[in-house]
Structure 1
Amino acid sequence: MDPYADAVTETAHGVTIALDVTAGAKKQSFPAGYNEWRKSIRCQVTAPAVGGKANRAIIDLVAETFGVPRTDVSIIAGHTSSSKTVAIAGIPRSRILKILSASNP
């Protein structure tokens, strides 16, 4: 079974991914591992969690990882939390899991 399967959910509007975010990290990384307890994928961004900078960095990093425009990526829950839910439009769950598995650290 795919280690990230529990964190990725198909919905009527696209795919959602549960993220466990570290803002202000030394380097950007996604996926940066898997949190078994939260059933979420770790994401590290260098931007600080101030004024939405980390959220914008997360959207940029997720869009780049999956090769979709940043307009197809949105944070739908956890705007001020380290636990976030990100929605991605225009790409199926199976493709997302394949990309995540290929970049597994």
Structure 2
Amino acid sequence: MILEKNGGVTADIKVVPRSKRAAVEVDGENITLRITAPPVDGKANDAVTAGLSSLLGVPKRDISIVRGQTSRNKTVEIRGVGKVELISRLGKAGR
């Protein structure tokens, strides 16, 4: 689910750590982010924020994990992008 709020969006993202390659998949409002980092010592969370920053072209400081620090299912807050822009940019990156 993706919600617009306070000049940004809050999005639920499924994270798949230890993937062979980093990738993003978008199916409607369902976002799956595959990362190569292991879920150890916050490395996967760092990879999530860095990956989203790179894909969306926003600074890492504008991305925060608000729920799911130790889970594969995370809720992230991204400031400076709208819902349509988020889906569009991630969709283009996933092709």
Check whether TM > 0.5. yes
Is 1:24 the counterpart of 2:14? The answer is no
Aligned AA (1:9)? L
CA distance, structure 2, for counterparts of residue 53 and residue 9 of structure 1: 26
Alpha-carbon deviation of 1:8? 1.9
CA distance, structure 2, for counterparts of residue 33 and residue 94 of structure 1: 12
Task: Give the match's secondary structure for 2:84.
Answer: helix
TM-score (ref. length: structure 2): 0.88
Aligned AA (1:25)? S
1:21-75 alpha-carbon deviations (Å, 9 max, x no partner): 1111111112x244x8xx6311111000000000000000001010000000110
What is the aligned counterpart of 2:4 among 2, 7, 10?
10
Alpha-carbon deviation of 1:96? 1.2
User: Percent sequence identity over matched residues?
Assistant: 33
What is the aligned counterpart of 1:84 among 50, 74, 81?
74
For structure 2, the 5+ residue unaligned runs are none
1:44 matched residue in structure 2: 34
Q: How many residues align?
A: 95
TM-score (ref. length: structure 1): 0.80
Runs of 4+ aligned residues of structure 1 deviating over 2 Å after TM superposition are 100-105
What is the aligned counterpart of 1:97 among 83, 87, 90?
87
What is the aligned counterpart of 2:52 among 51, 55, 62?
62
Aligned AA (2:8)? G
Task: Give the match's secondary structure for 2:50.
Answer: helix
Larger fraction in strand: 2
